[in-house]
Amino acid sequence: MDTVQEITAALAEQFGDLKVSEFRGQTRVVVPRDRLFEVAEALHGRHGFDMLVDITCVDYLNYRDARDRFGLVYLFCQTVDGHRLTLRVFVNEPDLNVPSLVPLWEGANWLEREVYDMFGIRFAGHPDLRRILMPAEFTAHPLRKDYPLQGRGERHNFPVITRSSA
Amino acid sequence: MSVELPENVVVSKLDALASWCRKNSLWPMPFATACCGIELMATGASRHDLARFGAEVMRFSPRQCDLMIVAGRVVMKMLPVLQRIWQQMHEPKWCISMGACASTGGVFDTYCVVQGVDRFIPVDMYVPGCPPRPEQLIQAIIDLQDKIQTEGTTFGREFALQRRQQPKRALVELPIIGQLPTGRELSV
């Protein structure tokens, strides 16, 4: 099979505007949002990346030299040769829609729900985009940098059971 | 006038007798959510042997228990479950808050961790430690036995006392770092 360099070269040839970089043996590809699904489809079908390791997100609010607010991280693995590849997708408010990868990898379901819960990124085409960690009535997205560390008092918002009421 | 008692007969109060029976057969409900639960298991195991104090019958049904041991941090999503289990337990019932997290939130001063279960359910005994050693939990159970013996009544009148109701601190919202207390406006 191809090496990671050949795979990224083939990707860059197919989708002209990709930025490929390598750091300490790890390859990452920055993909524009509207091409994410096509690139992922090529990785999944043509290049045999059969495992989606993780989806997560970084909030770059107040980050030095950052130009975009949110940076999504997709980690893929090709289990036959052990290749690993990172995709980065940057999105900005107010349009936080990103195509869902659930049609390609079933495992993306809960990972995307987690990213939605924590950062408020909306995955278009997700079959069941609900909160996965926080309670359903929670309104904020707590891993955003503009959310206070101790919350906005949600953790104290419960009825109190006294001795005589129990 | 004195009454001669036959041998092997002791005179007591019904309250004291009921409390004596209750304190020596506590049935714990292990609400173990974190590493304190491991120490709770160790307390029940053979080396520390909670059976010496009559509290070894861990039941996972709240209907059969009279001592809830909250061992570990409680998050927002878990608190309604905790309250429901507490309400499902029959009177008389007691609660031990085991460890720093259950008592105060511990190091988890975050948006989702409840800062002490005593804000929302009544707690009789607090065990410090992270996690507490089994000896500390045993000490808490011994102290709780003393408490049951000294203030327990047959019909549970002590539970209606004002000081056994919700502690005052639970009604106060602690100020959140980086955010003004509610009701105070920012003056420019």
Q: DSSP of chain A, one letter per residue?
A: ---HHHHHHHHHHHSTT-EEEEETTEEEEE--GGGHHHHHHHHHHTS---EEEEEEEEE-TT-TT---SEEEEEEEEETTTTEEEEEEEEE-SS--EEE--TTT-TTHHHHHHHHHHHH--EEET-S----SSS-TT--S-TTSTTS-TTTTSGGG-SPPP-TTT-
Name which of B87, B93, B159 is nearest A164 (Cβ-Cβ). B159
Q: Contact B120/A150, CB-based, under 8 Å?
A: no
Chain A hits for B173, Cβ within 8 Å: 153, 156
Res. B170: pLDDT tops 50:
no
Interface test with B, best of A130, A156, A165 (most B CBs within 10 A): A156
Cβ-Cβ contacts under 8 Å for B100 (sequence gap 6 or more): B106, B107, B128, B129, B130
Res. B188: pLDDT tops 60:
no
Q: Contact B160/A160, CB-based, under 8 Å?
A: no
Closest chain B residue to A166 measured between Cα atoms? B87
Q: Contact B112/A134, CB-based, under 8 Å?
A: yes
* Helix/strand/coil (H/E/C) assignment for every residue in B76-116: CCCHHHHHHHHHHCCCCCEEEEEHHHHHHCCCCCCCCECCC
Chain B hits for A150, Cβ within 8 Å: 109-111, 176-177, 179
Q: Contact A151/B114, CB-based, under 8 Å?
A: no
State pLDDT tens for residues B134-151: 999 999 999 999 999 998
What's the confidence (pLDDT) of residue A1?
60
What's the confidence (pLDDT) of residue B98?
94
Name which of A134, A150, A163 is nearest B159 (Cβ-Cβ). A163
How many angstroms separate the CA atoms of B158 and A69, rounded? 57
Closest chain B residue to A152 measured between Cα atoms? B111
Chain A hits for B166, Cβ within 8 Å: 160, 162-163
Closest chain B residue to A154 measured between Cα atoms? B111
Contact (CB, 8 A) for B29 and B62: yes
Q: What is the ipTM of this complex?
A: 0.81
Q: Contact A148/B173, CB-based, under 8 Å?
A: no
How many angstroms separate the CA atoms of A100 and A57, rounded? 14
What's the confidence (pLDDT) of residue B46?
92
Contact (CB, 8 A) for B144 and B125: yes
Dihedral pair phi/psi, residue A148, rounded to 5°: -65, 145
How many angstroms separate the CA atoms of A90 and A105, rounded? 21
To the question of pTM greater than 0.90 for the whole model, the response is no
How many angstroms away from the CA of A149 is the closest CA of chain B? 6
Closest chain A residue to B166 measured between Cα atoms? A162
* Mean pLDDT computed over every residue of chain A: 90
Q: Contact A155/B176, CB-based, under 8 Å?
A: no
Chain B hits for A164, Cβ within 8 Å: 159-160, 165
Chain B hits for A159, Cβ within 8 Å: 83, 120
Q: Contact A151/B166, CB-based, under 8 Å?
A: no
What's the confidence (pLDDT) of residue A55?
95
Q: Contact A163/B165, CB-based, under 8 Å?
A: yes
State pLDDT tens for residues B35-77: 999 999 999 999 999 999 999 899 999 999 999 999 999 999 9
Q: How many beta-carbon pairs under 8 angstroms link A with B?
A: 86
